Chain A
C-alpha cells in the first residue's frame, strides 16, 4: 500500500508538472492578452513533432533548444498576422480563430507525419532508471521532466514579478495606452508574450513527446484538461495554475489507484431488485471514473468560486 502511495504521488507530481508546463503558457497568454488560446495544445503538439524531427537530424539537445524557438516563432506569426487583425472584432473572433487554428494544425501535422505515432525516443543520455523505490524503477527522463518544469515555473515567476520586462508586460495588460504613451511598443510586447507562451507549450511538447506518445491527436487529448487547469487555478494566475496542475495530477493518479465503489462502501444492492441502471452506477469504481474527475472539479469550482482558486477577476 505504501508503495502504491509513494509511486502514485510521484506519478501525480510528474503529470501535474507537465500540465503546469502546458498551462503556464496558456495562463501567460490569457493574463496578458485576454485571449483564451484554443490552439495552445496544438503548439504543444508542434513542439513534440519538431522535437522529433530535429532530434532525427541534429540530436535531442539542440532540438530541445531549437524546437521551442520555432514554435515560438510560429506563435508570434499567428499573433502578428492573425490575432492582431481579429482583435478589433472582439474576443469571440479571436477565440474562433484559435479554435480553427487547432484543427488546421492537427490536419497539417497528420499530413506531414501521418496519423500513426512516430518513433520519438528518450535520448540515450537519460535512458536509464534514476532510482528504484520498492522495486519500481523511476526513469531518469521523468526526473528531468520534473526539473525542467520546476525551473520554468521559477524563471517565469521571477521574470514577471521581479524584472522590468515583467513590469512593462503586466502594465501593458491593464493600461495598454499608458504603456504606449511611455514609449513602449505595445503591439510588439503582445507579440513577444504570445511567442513566449507558445514556446513554453513547445518545450512541453519536446520533453513530453518521448515520454508519452507523439501522434497527430495528442493535442486533442490534452486540450480539454488544460482549460480545467487554468479555470480551476484561477484565470490568469500563474501560482494558481501551478497549484491546480498539481492538484489535478495527484487527484487523477490517485483516483486510478482506488478500487472503491459505492458497493464496496455500503454493500451491494439488494440482488432481488435485479440488474438495472442503478446497480451499474452502484458498482462503478473510482478508478473507472478517474478521467472525469477533473471535469467534475471544473463544474464545482465554477459554481462555488467562479474566479478559481487564486484568480482575482470574475470570469
Chain B
C-alpha cells in the first residue's frame, strides 16, 4: 500500500512535471498602457514582446517559451499592486516594470512581502527603468534587480561631462514632483555644487507628474531666469510637451536630459532647431557605432516600427536567459542567485556586471546629442532626419557609486 502511494505520487509528479515543462514562462509586464505615461508604456511592451519573440525563435529558455503578460498600471502604485497580484495569479514568477519610481518602490515592497509569506512561490522583480537611487540603497530588496543606471549614476556621469564646459554658467532645474524628480534635483545640486561651485542654480522647479498640458508658463519662467542650460529628468509626455513649449517660445538653451529621446521628444527638438544642443544620457543609443547593436536596431526598427529606447531591456532579457541557464533552473530563487555578480557583454559593447551588494547593474554610459546626422550615423528618430550623436562615453568602472544597501538574504 505504502509503495503504491509513493509510486502514484511519483507518477503524478512526473506527469505534472511534464505538463509543467510545456508551459510558457509567464513574464508580467506592468506599466502604463493608458494615461500620460501610455506612450512610453506601449513602447516598452513592444520592446519586451520583440525580445521574447527573439528568445523563443531560438528555442526559448531551457526549452520553454516566454510569454509576456501586458498589465496596465496607469502609472499608479496602488493599481500596480493589483496588477502584480493578477500576474502572480496567472502564474508569473517574473515581473518587470520601469515607469515611475513610486510604482517601483511599491512593487519592490510587494514582491518582498510576497516572497516572505509564500516560500517556494517566490517572484523576481526586474526593474528596467525606475531610477530612484533609494531602490538600491535604503529601500533595497534581494528580489529586485535594476538594469537601468540609477539617477545618481547618471547624474554623476552627466555632471562630469558638464563640469568641463565653461559656457555653462546658469542652470535651471525642472523636474517631476515625485521621488525620482526630487532625487534628480537633489543630485544635480549636490554634484554640480561639488564639481563646479561657480555655476549658479537659477531655478529649481517641481511640477505635477504627467498632468501638465501646456508648459508655456514654465518656459516663460526659464526664460526670465536667464538660464543657459536646463537639467531635467522629465519623461513621457512631460518632456515632449516641455520641449514643444520651448520650441514655440524660441527658448535657446542647452538641454541636459535623461529622456529627451522618448516619444515626441525628437520631433519637438527638431522644431526648436536646437542642433546638437539637447543632450541625453543613456546606456546605449542607435548610432553608438557598435555593430551588433546597430544590427539589432535595424532589425528592431524594421519589425516594430520604433527606435530602440531601452537597450537595457535587451540586456535584461538576455541576462535572464543567461542566469536561468547558468542555474539550470527557472526557479526564481536560483535565478536570483545566478544573477548576482553575473558579468555580461551588453548590447552596445563593453562588460556590465550585476553588483551583488545592491542588485544594481553597472554598464558603460553614453552622453549623446541630438542633431544633424554625420556620414557614419544611419539612424534618425521619428522621421525627423536628425539623430543621436556620440558626445562622451563613461566606462563601467567609472560609474560605480557606493551603496548603503543592507539586504536580507534568503
What 0/1 readout, one digit per residue, does chain B (184-219) give for beta carbons within 8 Å of chain A? 000000000000000000000111100111101110
B248 touches A142 (CB 8 A): yes
Considering the complex, give the chain B residue whose CB is closest to the CB of A285: B206
In this assembly, does A312 line the interface, its C-beta being within 8 Å of a C-beta of chain B?
no
Per the bound structure, the CA–CA distance linking A119 and B221 in Å amounts to 27
Considering the complex, give the chain A residue whose CB is closest to the CB of B225: A4
Per the bound structure, the CA–CA distance linking A129 and B224 in Å amounts to 19
What 0/1 readout, one digit per residue, does chain A (88-126) give for beta carbons within 8 Å of chain B? 000000000000000000000010001111010000000
What 0/1 readout, one digit per residue, does chain A (187-219) give for beta carbons within 8 Å of chain B? 000000000000000000000000111011110
**Would you give the shortest CB distance from B247 to chain A, in whole angstroms?**
9
Within 8 A of A (CB), among B354-387: 382
In this assembly, does A291 line the interface, its C-beta being within 8 Å of a C-beta of chain B?
yes
Among the stretches A7-15, A52-60, A229-237, the one at the interface with B is A7-15
Per the bound structure, the CA–CA distance linking A44 and B136 in Å amounts to 44
A116 touches B248 (CB 8 A): no
In this assembly, does B36 line the interface, its C-beta being within 8 Å of a C-beta of chain A?
yes
Per the bound structure, the CA–CA distance linking A7 and B249 in Å amounts to 10
Contact of A137 among B39, B218, B221, B249 (CB under 8 A): B249
A8 touches B220 (CB 8 A): yes
Considering the complex, give the chain A residue whose CB is closest to the CB of B224: A4
In this assembly, does A256 line the interface, its C-beta being within 8 Å of a C-beta of chain B?
yes
Per the bound structure, the CA–CA distance linking A213 and B263 in Å amounts to 12
Point out the residues of chain B lying under 8 angstroms from A115, CB to CB: 33-34, 38-39, 41-42
Per the bound structure, the CA–CA distance linking A256 and B263 in Å amounts to 25
In this assembly, does B150 line the interface, its C-beta being within 8 Å of a C-beta of chain A?
no
A213 touches B35 (CB 8 A): no
Knowing A7-B223, A110-B34, A137-B248, say if A215 contacts B217 (CB, 8 Å). Answer: no
B213 touches A1 (CB 8 A): no
Per the bound structure, the CA–CA distance linking A212 and B177 in Å amounts to 21
Per the bound structure, the CA–CA distance linking A136 and B217 in Å amounts to 12
Interface size on B, residues (CB 8 A): 37
In this assembly, does B17 line the interface, its C-beta being within 8 Å of a C-beta of chain A?
no
Considering the complex, give the chain B residue whose CB is closest to the CB of A252: B217
In this assembly, does A182 line the interface, its C-beta being within 8 Å of a C-beta of chain B?
no
Knowing A11-B220, A117-B240, say if A217 contacts B34 (CB, 8 Å). Answer: yes
In this assembly, does B250 line the interface, its C-beta being within 8 Å of a C-beta of chain A?
yes
Count of chain A to chain B residue pairs whose CB atoms are closer than 8 Å in the complex: 102
Per the bound structure, the CA–CA distance linking A1 and B223 in Å amounts to 11
Per the bound structure, the CA–CA distance linking A119 and B212 in Å amounts to 19
Per the bound structure, the CA–CA distance linking A314 and B403 in Å amounts to 61
**Would you give the shortest CB distance from A208 to chain B, in whole angstroms?**
9
A288 touches B206 (CB 8 A): yes
In this assembly, does B159 line the interface, its C-beta being within 8 Å of a C-beta of chain A?
no
Point out the residues of chain B lying under 8 angstroms from A160, CB to CB: none
**Would you give the shortest CB distance from B82 to chain A, in whole angstroms?**
19
Point out the residues of chain B lying under 8 angstroms from A134, CB to CB: 223
B211 touches A116 (CB 8 A): no
In this assembly, does B107 line the interface, its C-beta being within 8 Å of a C-beta of chain A?
no
Per the bound structure, the CA–CA distance linking A65 and B285 in Å amounts to 43
Knowing A110-B34, A137-B248, say if A253 contacts B264 (CB, 8 Å). Answer: no
Interface size range on A against B: 35 or more
Per the bound structure, the CA–CA distance linking A290 and B42 in Å amounts to 30
Knowing A117-B263, A215-B38, say if A257 contacts B220 (CB, 8 Å). Answer: yes
Point out the residues of chain A lying under 8 angstroms from B217, CB to CB: 8, 11-12, 252-253, 256-257
Per the bound structure, the CA–CA distance linking A1 and B212 in Å amounts to 23
Per the bound structure, the CA–CA distance linking A116 and B240 in Å amounts to 12
In this assembly, does B151 line the interface, its C-beta being within 8 Å of a C-beta of chain A?
no
B250 touches A213 (CB 8 A): no
Per the bound structure, the CA–CA distance linking A211 and B271 in Å amounts to 13
Most buried by A among B206, B216, B240, B264: B216
Considering the complex, give the chain A residue whose CB is closest to the CB of B215: A256
Per the bound structure, the CA–CA distance linking A102 and B35 in Å amounts to 14
Considering the complex, give the chain B residue whose CB is closest to the CB of A4: B224
Per the bound structure, the CA–CA distance linking A111 and B369 in Å amounts to 34
Per the bound structure, the CA–CA distance linking A12 and B211 in Å amounts to 17
In this assembly, does A262 line the interface, its C-beta being within 8 Å of a C-beta of chain B?
no
Considering the complex, give the chain B residue whose CB is closest to the CB of A288: B206
A291 touches B208 (CB 8 A): yes
Point out the residues of chain A lying under 8 angstroms from B241, CB to CB: 212-213
A287 touches B214 (CB 8 A): no
What 0/1 readout, one digit per residue, does chain B (19-53) give for beta carbons within 8 Å of chain A? 00000000000000111101101110000000000
B267 touches A119 (CB 8 A): yes
Contact of A213 among B41, B216, B240, B248 (CB under 8 A): B240
Per the bound structure, the CA–CA distance linking A220 and B241 in Å amounts to 17
B240 touches A137 (CB 8 A): no
Knowing A213-B237, A287-B205, A288-B177, say if A136 contacts B39 (CB, 8 Å). Answer: no
Knowing A213-B237, A213-B241, A216-B38, say if A256 contacts B223 (CB, 8 Å). Answer: no
Point out the residues of chain B lying under 8 angstroms from A306, CB to CB: none
Point out the residues of chain B lying under 8 angstroms from A154, CB to CB: none
A116 touches B42 (CB 8 A): yes
A3 touches B223 (CB 8 A): yes
A136 touches B220 (CB 8 A): yes
A217 touches B36 (CB 8 A): yes
Point out the residues of chain A lying under 8 angstroms from B250, CB to CB: 129, 132, 135-137
Point out the residues of chain A lying under 8 angstroms from B34, CB to CB: 110, 115, 216-217
B224 touches A3 (CB 8 A): yes
Within 8 A of A (CB), among B227-284: 237, 240-241, 244, 248-251, 263-264, 267
Considering the complex, give the chain A residue whose CB is closest to the CB of B39: A116
Closest 10 CB pairs of A and B: A137-B250, A115-B38, A116-B39, A256-B217, A7-B220, A4-B224, A253-B217, A11-B216, A139-B248, A212-B213
- Which residues of B are interface residues toward A (Cβ below 8 A)? 33-36, 38-39, 41-43, 177, 205-208, 211-214, 216-218, 220-221, 223-224, 237, 240-241, 244, 248-251, 263-264, 267, 382
Q: What would be 12 A-B contacts, judged by CB atoms less than 8 Å apart?
A: A11-B214, A110-B34, A114-B42, A115-B33, A115-B39, A117-B240, A137-B250, A212-B213, A221-B213, A253-B216, A256-B217, A257-B220
15 more contacts with CB within 8 A, not counting A115-B42, A221-B211, are A4-B221, A15-B216, A115-B38, A116-B43, A116-B263, A117-B39, A117-B237, A136-B220, A136-B251, A137-B250, A142-B248, A213-B213, A256-B217, A287-B205, A288-B207
